[in-house]
Amino acid sequence: MSVASLVSGSPPIEVFDCDGHVAEPRSLFDDYADPGFRAAANAALHVQNFEGGGSGLMLDGRCIVRGIEAVTFAGQSPAMFLGKHWDDGYPGAFDPAHRLGDMDAEGIDRAMVFPSLLGAIGGVSDTALAAAMCRAYNRWMLDYCSTDPNRLFGVAVVPLQDPAAAATEAEWAAAQGYRCVMVRPCPYTGRTIEHPDFDRFYSVCEDAGMVIGLHPFPFPDVAWSQTLIGDLAGAPGSAIQMADMVCLPIDNMLTMAWAMFGGLTDRHPRLSFSFLESNGTWVAMWIDRLESRFHRGGHRAITTPPREILARQCYISVEGDERSLPLVAELIGVDRLVWASDFPHFDGHFPGAVTEALDGLSTLPDPVVRQVLGANASRMYGI
Quick one: pLDDT at residue 247?
84
For the segment 178-204, the average pLDDT, to the nearest whole number, is: 96
* Least confident interval from 50-54, 218-222, 236-240: 236-240
The phi, psi pair for 31, rounded to 5°, reads -90, -25
Q: Does residue 108 carry a pLDDT above 90? A: yes
- Residue 2: its H or E element: none
Q: Does residue 9 carry a pLDDT above 60? A: no
Nearest to 61 by CA among 45, 38, 49, 74: 45
Quick one: pLDDT at residue 240?
77
Report how far residue 211's alpha carbon sits from residue 63's, in angstroms, rounded to the nearest whole number. Answer: 31
Q: Does residue 154 carry a pLDDT above 60? A: yes
- Sign (positive or negative) of CA dihedral 86, 91, 95, 100: negative
CA angle 113, 115, 118 (to 5 degrees): 160
Report how far residue 282's alpha carbon sits from residue 274's, in angstroms, rounded to the nearest whole number. Answer: 14
Contact 311, 348 (CB under 8 A): no
Quick one: pLDDT at residue 116?
97
Confidence of residue 42 (pLDDT cuts 50, 70, 90): very high
Quick one: pLDDT at residue 268?
98
Quick one: pLDDT at residue 124?
96
Alpha helices (H) along the chain: 28-32, 38-44, 78-81, 96-106, 127-145, 163-175, 199-208, 239-261, 264-267, 282-296, 306-313, 325-332, 353-360, 366-370, 376-381
Report how far residue 197's alpha carbon sits from residue 193's, in angstroms, rounded to the nearest whole number. Answer: 9
Nearest to 324 by CA among 363, 379, 374: 363
For the segment 87-116, the average pLDDT, to the nearest whole number, is: 97
Report how far residue 299's alpha carbon sits from residue 66's, in angstroms, rounded to the nearest whole number. Answer: 42
What residues contact 383, with CB distance under 8 A and at least 6 apart? 16, 110, 153, 179, 377
More confident residue, 319 or 107: 107
Report how far residue 216's alpha carbon sits from residue 256's, in angstroms, rounded to the nearest whole number. Answer: 12
Report how far residue 342's alpha carbon sits from residue 279's, in angstroms, rounded to the nearest whole number. Answer: 11
**Per-domain boundaries in the chain:** 17-24+91-381
Report how far residue 356's alpha carbon sits from residue 354's, in angstroms, rounded to the nearest whole number. Answer: 5
More confident residue, 212 or 235: 212
Quick one: pLDDT at residue 335?
95
Confidence of residue 285 (pLDDT cuts 50, 70, 90): very high
Q: Does residue 7 carry a pLDDT above 80? A: no
Confidence of residue 6 (pLDDT cuts 50, 70, 90): low
Quick one: pLDDT at residue 38?
98
For the segment 214-227, the average pLDDT, to the nearest whole number, is: 85
For the segment 69-80, the average pLDDT, to the nearest whole number, is: 93
DSSP state of 53: S
Contact 300, 338 (CB under 8 A): no
Quick one: pLDDT at residue 207?
98
Average pLDDT, the chain: 94
Quick one: pLDDT at residue 13?
92
CATH classification (class only), 17-24+91-381: alpha beta
Q: Work out the number of other CB atoms within 10 angstroms of the CB of residue 330.
A: 12
Report how far residue 373's alpha carbon sits from residue 383's, in angstroms, rounded to the nearest whole number. Answer: 14
What residues contact 62, with CB distance under 8 A and at least 6 apart? none
More confident residue, 267 or 330: 267
Q: Does residue 80 carry a pLDDT above 70? A: yes
Contact 256, 314 (CB under 8 A): yes
Nearest to 98 by CA among 158, 150, 147: 147
